[in-house]
Protein backbone atom coordinates (compact mmCIF):
# COMPACT_ATOMS: atom_id res chain seq x y z
CA UNK A 1 0.00 0.00 0.00
CA UNK A 2 1.35 3.44 -0.91
CA UNK A 3 1.34 5.69 2.16
CA UNK A 4 3.59 8.45 0.80
CA UNK A 5 2.50 12.09 0.71
CA UNK A 6 4.10 14.24 -2.00
CA UNK A 7 4.76 17.94 -1.53
CA UNK A 8 3.28 20.09 -4.30
CA UNK A 9 4.11 23.50 -2.78
CA UNK A 10 5.88 24.93 0.23
CA UNK A 11 5.62 28.33 1.91
CA UNK A 12 8.06 29.57 4.57
CA UNK A 13 5.94 31.07 7.37
CA UNK A 14 8.69 31.77 9.93
CA UNK A 15 12.46 31.63 9.51
CA UNK A 16 14.01 31.50 12.97
CA UNK A 17 17.52 30.96 14.27
CA UNK A 18 16.83 27.35 15.25
CA UNK A 19 13.50 26.41 13.68
CA UNK A 20 11.90 27.11 10.33
CA UNK A 21 8.10 26.83 10.02
CA UNK A 22 6.59 25.85 6.67
CA UNK A 23 3.06 25.43 5.33
CA UNK A 24 3.20 22.71 2.69
CA UNK A 25 0.51 21.48 0.36
CA UNK A 26 0.75 17.74 -0.20
CA UNK A 27 -0.92 15.18 -2.41
CA UNK A 28 -2.23 12.28 -0.33
CA UNK A 29 -2.03 8.63 -1.41
CA UNK A 30 -5.63 8.80 -2.64
CA UNK A 31 -4.89 11.88 -4.81
CA UNK A 32 -6.57 14.44 -2.54
CA UNK A 33 -4.73 17.53 -1.27
CA UNK A 34 -3.97 18.47 2.34
CA UNK A 35 -2.07 21.14 4.25
CA UNK A 36 0.85 20.22 6.53
CA UNK A 37 2.43 22.78 8.85
CA UNK A 38 5.87 21.52 9.79
CA UNK A 39 8.94 22.69 11.63
CA UNK A 40 12.21 22.01 9.85
CA UNK A 41 15.31 21.75 12.04
CA UNK A 42 18.98 21.23 11.20
CA UNK A 43 19.24 18.09 13.35
CA UNK A 44 20.79 17.22 16.69
CA UNK A 45 22.64 14.62 18.72
CA UNK A 46 22.40 13.18 22.21
CA UNK A 47 24.80 11.01 24.18
CA UNK A 48 24.49 8.51 27.03
CA UNK A 49 27.89 8.92 28.74
CA UNK A 50 28.58 5.72 30.67
CA UNK A 51 31.44 5.62 33.17
CA UNK A 52 33.53 2.50 33.81
CA UNK A 53 31.65 2.21 37.13
CA UNK A 54 28.30 1.96 35.31
CA UNK A 55 27.09 5.49 36.03
CA UNK A 56 25.42 7.73 33.47
CA UNK A 57 26.28 11.42 33.37
CA UNK A 58 23.00 13.31 33.44
CA UNK A 59 22.09 16.98 33.43
CA UNK A 60 19.46 19.09 35.10
CA UNK A 61 18.53 21.97 32.86
CA UNK A 62 15.68 24.49 32.82
CA UNK A 63 13.66 24.16 29.62
CA UNK A 64 11.78 27.36 28.91
CA UNK A 65 9.28 25.78 26.48
CA UNK A 66 7.87 23.52 29.21
CA UNK A 67 8.65 25.81 32.15
CA UNK A 68 10.49 23.29 34.26
CA UNK A 69 13.85 21.74 35.07
CA UNK A 70 14.29 18.45 33.23
CA UNK A 71 16.75 15.61 33.65
CA UNK A 72 18.43 14.88 30.33
CA UNK A 73 21.51 13.37 28.76
CA UNK A 74 24.00 15.70 27.03
CA UNK A 75 22.63 16.91 23.70
CA UNK A 76 22.81 19.70 21.17
CA UNK A 77 22.04 20.74 17.64
CA UNK A 78 24.32 20.32 14.67
CA UNK A 79 26.40 23.36 13.72
CA UNK A 80 25.74 22.78 10.00
CA UNK A 81 23.40 20.53 7.98
CA UNK A 82 26.33 18.44 6.76
CA UNK A 83 28.10 18.14 10.13
CA UNK A 84 29.04 14.57 11.01
CA UNK A 85 26.76 13.29 13.80
CA UNK A 86 29.60 11.58 15.69
CA UNK A 87 31.72 14.75 15.64
CA UNK A 88 28.79 16.78 16.94
CA UNK A 89 28.17 14.23 19.69
CA UNK A 90 31.81 14.36 20.80
CA UNK A 91 31.70 18.17 20.81
CA UNK A 92 28.49 18.39 22.83
CA UNK A 93 29.63 15.75 25.32
CA UNK A 94 32.89 17.56 25.98
CA UNK A 95 31.31 21.03 26.16
CA UNK A 96 28.56 20.02 28.57
CA UNK A 97 30.33 17.47 30.81
CA UNK A 98 34.05 17.66 30.08
CA UNK A 99 33.97 13.96 29.15
CA UNK A 100 35.93 12.49 26.25
CA UNK A 101 35.09 8.88 25.33
CA UNK A 102 37.36 6.13 24.08
CA UNK A 103 34.39 4.56 22.29
CA UNK A 104 31.30 6.13 20.69
CA UNK A 105 28.51 3.73 19.68
CA UNK A 106 25.67 4.77 17.37
CA UNK A 107 22.25 4.00 18.91
CA UNK A 108 20.17 5.18 15.95
CA UNK A 109 17.78 8.03 15.31
CA UNK A 110 15.02 9.55 17.42
CA UNK A 111 12.14 11.63 16.03
CA UNK A 112 10.42 13.39 18.93
CA UNK A 113 7.31 14.67 17.19
CA UNK A 114 7.33 13.51 13.55
CA UNK A 115 3.77 14.65 12.81
CA UNK A 116 4.86 18.30 12.99
CA UNK A 117 8.64 18.41 13.26
CA UNK A 118 11.45 17.06 11.08
CA UNK A 119 14.14 17.20 13.76
CA UNK A 120 16.28 14.06 13.62
CA UNK A 121 18.29 13.35 16.77
CA UNK A 122 21.10 10.79 16.43
CA UNK A 123 21.66 8.97 19.71
CA UNK A 124 25.02 7.64 20.94
CA UNK A 125 26.48 5.65 23.81
CA UNK A 126 29.87 6.91 25.01
CA UNK A 127 32.18 4.57 26.95
CA UNK A 128 35.71 4.70 28.35
CA UNK A 129 35.40 8.28 29.59
CA UNK A 130 38.24 10.55 30.57
CA UNK A 131 37.61 14.07 31.79
CA UNK A 132 38.85 17.56 30.98
CA UNK A 133 37.38 21.02 31.47
CA UNK A 134 33.69 21.62 30.79
CA UNK A 135 33.07 24.44 28.25
CA UNK A 136 29.40 25.43 28.32
CA UNK A 137 27.95 27.78 25.72
CA UNK A 138 27.48 31.37 26.89
CA UNK A 139 23.70 30.94 27.31
CA UNK A 140 23.84 27.42 28.77
CA UNK A 141 23.25 26.71 32.44
CA UNK A 142 23.08 23.13 33.67
CA UNK A 143 24.05 20.86 36.53
CA UNK A 144 25.85 17.61 35.72
CA UNK A 145 25.43 14.63 38.04
CA UNK A 146 25.93 10.85 38.01
CA UNK A 147 23.40 8.08 38.42
CA UNK A 148 23.84 4.33 38.04
CA UNK A 149 22.46 3.22 34.66
CA UNK A 150 20.14 0.76 36.42
CA UNK A 151 18.65 3.64 38.46
CA UNK A 152 18.31 5.79 35.34
CA UNK A 153 16.30 2.98 33.72
CA UNK A 154 14.08 2.85 36.83
CA UNK A 155 13.60 6.63 36.68
CA UNK A 156 12.59 6.39 33.01
CA UNK A 157 10.15 3.53 33.64
CA UNK A 158 8.66 5.35 36.65
CA UNK A 159 8.02 8.44 34.53
CA UNK A 160 10.40 10.66 36.47
CA UNK A 161 12.59 11.38 33.41
CA UNK A 162 10.18 13.09 31.03
CA UNK A 163 12.51 13.96 28.14
CA UNK A 164 11.79 11.63 25.22
CA UNK A 165 15.27 11.43 23.69
CA UNK A 166 16.73 10.71 27.13
CA UNK A 167 14.18 7.95 27.78
CA UNK A 168 14.82 6.26 24.45
CA UNK A 169 18.61 6.55 24.56
CA UNK A 170 18.87 5.28 28.15
CA UNK A 171 16.72 2.24 27.36
CA UNK A 172 18.70 1.48 24.19
CA UNK A 173 22.00 1.88 26.06
CA UNK A 174 20.75 -0.42 28.82
CA UNK A 175 19.73 -3.02 26.23
CA UNK A 176 23.05 -2.71 24.39
CA UNK A 177 25.04 -3.22 27.59
CA UNK A 178 23.00 -6.31 28.44
CA UNK A 179 21.07 -4.75 31.33
CA UNK A 180 17.79 -5.07 29.43
CA UNK A 181 16.76 -7.61 26.85
CA UNK A 182 14.46 -6.75 23.97
CA UNK A 183 12.23 -9.83 24.26
Confidence of residue 183 (pLDDT cuts 50, 70, 90): low
The predicted model scores a pTM of 0.93
**pLDDT digits 0-9 by tens, 82-92:** 999 999 999 99
Confidence of residue 98 (pLDDT cuts 50, 70, 90): very high
Q: What is the pLDDT of residue 27?
A: 98
DSSP assignment string, 27-39: E-TTS-EEEEEEE
Q: Which domains does the chain have, with CATH numbers?
A: 6-41 (no CATH), 44-176 (3.90.79.10)
Rounded mean pLDDT, 94-101 = 96
Q: Catalytic one among 138, 143, 155, 183?
A: 138
Q: What is the pLDDT of residue 161?
A: 98
Rounded mean pLDDT, 138-167 = 96
Residue 3 has pLDDT above 80, yes or no: yes
Cβ-count burial 59-98 (b if 16+ within 10 Å, e if not): bebeeeeeeeeebbbbbbebeeeeeebeebbbbbbbbbbb
Residue 182 has pLDDT above 60, yes or no: no
Torsion, CA 23, CA 45, CA 153, CA 145, rounded to 10: -120
Q: What is the pLDDT of residue 61?
A: 96
Active site includes 138?
yes
Whole-number Å distance between alpha carbons of 33 and 180: 44
- Strand 44-49 and strand 75-77: the pairing is antiparallel
Residue 140 has pLDDT above 90, yes or no: no
Amino acid sequence: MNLTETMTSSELIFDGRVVHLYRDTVTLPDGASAIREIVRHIGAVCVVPLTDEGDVLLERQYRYAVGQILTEIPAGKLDAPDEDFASAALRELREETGAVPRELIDLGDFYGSPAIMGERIRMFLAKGLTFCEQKLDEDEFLEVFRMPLRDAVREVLAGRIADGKTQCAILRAAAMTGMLTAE
